[in-house]
């Protein structure tokens, strides 16, 4: 099997499942991962044979993609903030909306006069704190998660990318854990926020593969994490500190009302798709 034949093999098998555009993109991602060469370079050597082991991987990855396993889990990589992160089923796959949240924080604080202390709650792959540390090196960055598996992934990414982040296993819903954490200038979180009833409308590649502990909240208390983090911030946010959330697109007003009810000033921000997806807040003066 040549490089060209391998590309067509992936594309032709995936087109009925994903459609022409996405199948082409997936074929490109798989071939770049397997060969280590970009599209232009592969075109130059399209008639070169691939190794038998590489052909076996092409067929294995294609079958897994046909079953709608996320390509990021298959390849064990995902891009975020111009960095390649290791991901596996212990963590959510980083999303573009979260990049927008991180960019908002960076733009707000890039020129801070004094060193800042940042906390990321529910860190998953570590994409938020690692990206903040790389772009704001004069910061002390902490990150917590309830999942040991997630923390192992996050630490691996921090080591590989070269970002000094202090990781800690901690359940933010347990108020007994709060005294172990210091005061922070910035608290950020992309917590679980999808109501359980949304499961029926979700794509299988998310529902059947990504960790439910990082996705879902009870229908009866969709703001459970936002409320707990706001209460935590009330005692652990420095004067003039700011709290940033990624939110469910349908819960913007509910999050704003919750925050103002707890003594915060809050601002809602739309993502590039014009959906309410981010909130910035601080304690009202």
- Quick check: 268 and 258 in contact, CB under 8 A? no
Same domain assignment for residues 47 and 96: no
Mean pLDDT computed over 97-117: 92
Give the domain extent around 96.
Answer: 82-283
**Is 117 a domain residue?**
yes
For all residues of the chain together, what is the average pLDDT? 91
What's the mean pLDDT in 200-208?
Answer: 63
Model confidence band, residue 110 (pLDDT cutoffs 50, 70, 90): confident
Whether residues 118 and 201 share a domain: the answer is: yes
Residue 90: inside a domain = yes
Q: Are residue 22 and residue 93 in the same domain, yes or no?
A: no
**What confidence category does residue 193 fall into, taking pLDDT thresholds of 50, 70 and 90?**
low
Interacting residues of 168 by C-beta distance below 8 A, sequence separation 6+: 142, 143, 144, 151, 180
Q: State yes or no: pLDDT of 187 exceeds 90.
A: yes
Same domain flag for 58 and 130: no
Q: According to the model, what pLDDT value does residue 149 have?
A: 94
Residue holding tokens 């009833």? Answer: 197
Residue 169: pLDDT band (50, 70, 90) is very high
Q: What percent of the chain has pLDDT above 90?
A: 76
d(CA 6, CA 4): 5
Tokens matching residue 3 = 């490089």
Q: Could you give the CA distance from residue 209 to residue 110 in angstroms, rounded to a whole number? A: 36
246, part of any domain = yes
Contact in structure between 279 and 258 (CB atoms under 8 Å):
no
Strands 184-189 and 237-246: parallel
- Name the region of 95 (left: φ>0; alpha: ψ -120 to 50; beta: rest): beta
At 72-100, the pLDDT tens digits run 999 999 999 889 999 999 999 999 999 99
| Claim to verify: residue 53 and residue 23 sit in the same structural domain | yes
Look at residue 201 in the predicted model and tell me its pLDDT. 63
In this predicted model, what pLDDT tens digit does every residue of 267-277 receive, in sequence order?
999 999 999 99
Q: Cα angle at 107 between 100 and 95, to 5 degrees?
A: 15
Question: What is the tally of structural domains in the chain?
Answer: 2
Give the residue carrying structure tokens 């004067």. 239
- The DSSP code for 48 is S
Whether residue 194 lies inside any domain: the answer is yes
Domain contains 29: yes
Tokens (6 digits) for 55: 């052909």
Residues 122 and 246 in one domain: yes
At residue 203, the pLDDT reads 67
Q: Is residue 154 included in any domain, yes or no?
A: yes
Nearest C-alpha neighbor of 226 from the set 271, 263, 256:
256
Flag whether 76 is in a domain: no
**pLDDT higher for 264 or 212?**
264
Do 132 and 272 belong together in one domain?
yes
10 Å Cβ neighbour count for 250?
13
Q: What is the CATH number of the domain that holds 209?
A: 3.40.50.150
The answer to whether residues 59 and 86 belong to one domain is no
């Amino acid at each position: 099997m040549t490089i060209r034949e391998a590309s067509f093999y992936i594309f032709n098998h995936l087109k009925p499942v994903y459609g022409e555009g996405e199948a082409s993109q997936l074929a490109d991602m798989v071939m770049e991962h397997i060969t280590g060469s970009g599209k232009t370079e592969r075109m130059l050597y399209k008639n070169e044979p691939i190794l038998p082991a590489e052909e076996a991987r092409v067929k294995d990855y294609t079958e897994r993609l046909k079953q709608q396993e996320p390509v990021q889990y298959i390849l064990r990589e995902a891009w975020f903030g111009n960095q390649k992160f290791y991901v596996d089923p212990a963590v959510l796959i980083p999303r573009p909306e979260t990049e927008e949240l991180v960019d908002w924080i960076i733009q707000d604080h890039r020129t801070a006069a004094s060193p800042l202390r940042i906390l990321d709650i529910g860190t998953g792959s570590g994409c938020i704190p690692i990206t903040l540390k790389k772009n704001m090196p004069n910061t002390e960055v902490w990150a917590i998660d309830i999942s040991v598996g997630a923390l192992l992934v996050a630490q691996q990414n921090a080591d590989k990318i070269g970002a000094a982040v202090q990781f800690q296993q901690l359940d933010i819903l347990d108020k007994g854990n709060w005294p172990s954490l210091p005061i922070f200038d910035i608290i950020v979180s992309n917590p679980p926020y999808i109501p359980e009833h949304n499961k029926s409308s979700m794509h299988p590649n998310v529902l059947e593969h990504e960790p439910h502990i990082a996705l879902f909240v009870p229908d009866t208390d969709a703001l459970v994490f936002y409320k707990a983090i706001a209460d935590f911030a009330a005692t652990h946010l420095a004067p003039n500190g700011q709290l940033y959330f990624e939110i469910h697109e349908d819960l913007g007003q509910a999050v704003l009302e919750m925050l103002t009810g707890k003594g915060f000033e809050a601002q809602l921000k739309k993502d590039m798709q014009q959906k309410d997806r981010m909130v910035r807040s601080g304690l009202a003066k």
